[in-house]
């Protein structure tokens, strides 16, 4: 196959996820073109960037015309612009993307598919908020319905006096109130389904957040009952939307049960461990799925832990000094709270992995 007739994949957003998708796709003989508003975005290191806003239908059309299939690495792609501008198959699913962009629609979707959620209610006024607190009780979490990520746009309400200030801080946009889940742990499942309907699932990953941002993940989280349940939940979503690509559901585990928090209709930070820790990575499987290639084996190879580098990057030498460590720098300018890179540890022994993880977490401390 010559470079001229290599298949081309368009990615809306040239962040680290897009960069890792391209890195996984090159061995398959593919080429990548991104749409991003910044010429310095990480994807620019591994593909051409068309400069433009995600919501610019003309730019989405231009991207489409360069490629065979369009996917995305960010969730805040305006769906009207996608429907208007994208002239090639847009995968995984514009319909599920639309639901995932609005926490209320997302929760209603979970409910309609019998996937348990915390109690929730829409909030558009202070009176709504008082009524919702009456019904749901405190503590509770008030969140913006749209454009919240990494813990942004949310406030925990603990007592009556918290309501008005939280509403004022978040207030002029549609909100949702959720019951506060006293969770034992947070886990996520990543599933992948191809255009022709083949589906596979990765083992659950256990995720630790601080200030709403994922700090580290350990996989596999071995619990056969929860694994089976999570697979049934995600399979229902994949099939309902005739989905093609990788999908993630984040869950709380409370009283030994799964409670869905949110979905990401894309590759996910809690699946970065699959690059070195699974037979086929989430990134390669996403690419295979959207091009309708046979999916790869999702079996884990031993135990893995992934640590995010947020705000600062540790020295590469220090990380690589840990046996079994793999270093990923996204080539981004350091900024407080910004995900700049990650490292993955793999080991055949869980005990050994946890010891090395402690070391890596010390290096990653901001
Ligand atoms: P989110 O942006 O909704 O994923 O929230 C980020 C993090 O905030 C989650 O991973 C949890 O650690 C915490 N969180 C969000 N919603 C709730 C909730 N209803 N109850 C308890 N913790 C929550």
How many Å lie between the centroid of ligand 1 and the Cα of residue 212? 7
Q: What is the atom index within ligand 1 of the atom nearest the CA of 183?
A: 21
Mutate to test the pocket of ligand 1, among 261, 270, 337 (most ligand atoms within 8 A of CB): 261
Confidence at residue 1, expressed as pLDDT on a 0 to 100 scale = 47
Q: What are residue 29's phi and psi, to 5 degrees? A: 85, 20
46 CA → ligand 1 middle, Å: 33
Q: What does DSSP say about strands 154-157 and 140-144: parallel, antiparallel, or unpaired?
A: antiparallel
pLDDT band at 315, cuts 50/70/90? very high
Does pLDDT of 3 surpass 90?
A: no
Ligand 1 centroid vs 297 CA: distance in angstroms? 31
**pTM (whole model) above 0.75:** yes
185-364 is classed CATH 3.30.470.20:
yes
Q: What is the pLDDT of residue 131?
A: 98
* Closest approach atom of ligand 1 to CA 182: 21
State the pLDDT at residue 171.
Answer: 74
Residues with CB under 6 A from ligand 1: 118, 141, 148, 151, 178, 180-181, 186, 209, 212, 261-262
Q: How far apart are CA 101 and CA 191, in angstroms?
A: 19
Query: Residue 136: how many CA atoms within 13 Å on its side-chain side?
Result: 28
The tens digit of pLDDT for each residue in 246-265 reads 999 999 999 999 999 999 99
Nearest-angstrom CA–CA distance, 7 and 21: 14
- The rounded Å distance from CA 217 to ligand 1 centre is 16
Q: Is the pLDDT of residue 151 over 70?
A: no
Atom of ligand 1 nearest to the CA of 118: 19
- Does 134 or 172 have the greater pLDDT score? 134
- Position in ligand 1 atom list of the atom nearest CA 181: 20
Q: Which atom of ligand 1 is nearest to the CA of 150?
A: 2
Query: What residues does CATH 3.40.50.20 cover in the chain?
Result: 8-90
Cα 292 to ligand 1 centre (Å): 34
Distance between Cα 154 and ligand 1 center (Å)? 9
Q: Is the pLDDT of residue 2 over 60?
A: no
**CATH number assigned to the domain covering 8-90:** 3.40.50.20
Owner of token pair 């005739």: 242
Please state, in angstroms and rounded to a whole number, the distance separating the CA atoms of residues 308 and 328. 10
CATH 3.30.470.20 maps onto the chain at 185-364
What phi and psi values does residue 210 have, to the nearest 5 degrees? -140, 135
CATH homologous superfamily of 119-179:
ATP-grasp fold, A domain (3.30.1490.20)
Span 62-91, pLDDT tens digits: 999 999 999 999 999 999 999 999 999 999
């Amino acid at each position: 196959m010559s470079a001229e007739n290599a298949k081309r994949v368009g990615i809306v957003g040239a962040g680290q996820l897009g960069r890792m998708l391209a890195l996984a796709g090159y061995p398959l003989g593919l080429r990548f073109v991104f749409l991003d508003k910044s010429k310095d975005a990480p994807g620019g290191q591994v593909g051409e960037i068309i400069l433009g806003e995600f919501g610019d239908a003309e730019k989405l059309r231009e991207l489409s015309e360069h490629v065979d299939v369009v996917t995305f690495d960010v969730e805040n792609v305006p769906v009207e612009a996608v429907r208007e501008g994208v002239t090639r198959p847009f995968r995984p699913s514009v319909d599920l993307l639309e639901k995932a962009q609005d926490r209320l629609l997302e929760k209603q979707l979970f409910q309609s598919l019998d996937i348990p959620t915390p109690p929730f209610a829409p909030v558009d006024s202070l009176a709504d908020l008082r009524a919702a607190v009456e019904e749901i009780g405190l503590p509770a979490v008030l969140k913006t319905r749209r454009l919240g990520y990494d813990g942004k746009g949310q406030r925990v309400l603990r007592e009556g006096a918290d309501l008005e200030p939280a509403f004022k801080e978040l207030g002029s946009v549609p909100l949702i109130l959720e019951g506060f889940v006293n969770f034992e742990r947070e886990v996520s499942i990543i599933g992948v389904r191809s255009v022709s309907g083949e589906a596979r699932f990765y083992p659950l990953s256990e995720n630790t957040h601080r200030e709403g941002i994922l700090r580290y993940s350990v996989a596999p989280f071995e619990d056969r009952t929860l694994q089976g349940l999570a697979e049934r939940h995600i399979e229902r979503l994949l099939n309902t939307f005739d989905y093609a690509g990788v999908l993630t559901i984040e869950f709380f585990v409370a009283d030994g049960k799964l409670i869905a928090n949110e979905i990401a209709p894309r590759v996910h930070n809690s699946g970065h461990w699959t690059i070195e820790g699974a037979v086929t990575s989430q990134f390669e499987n996403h690419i295979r799925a959207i091009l309708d290639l046979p999916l790869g084996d999702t079996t884990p190879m031993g135990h893995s832990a992934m640590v995010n580098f947020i705000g600062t990057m540790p020295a590469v030498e220090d990380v690589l000094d840990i046996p079994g460590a793999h270093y990923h720098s996204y080539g981004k300018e350091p900024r407080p709270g910004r995900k700049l890179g990650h490292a993955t540890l793999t080991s055949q022994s869980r005990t050994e992995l946890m010891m090395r993880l402690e070391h890596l977490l010390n290096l990653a401390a901001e």
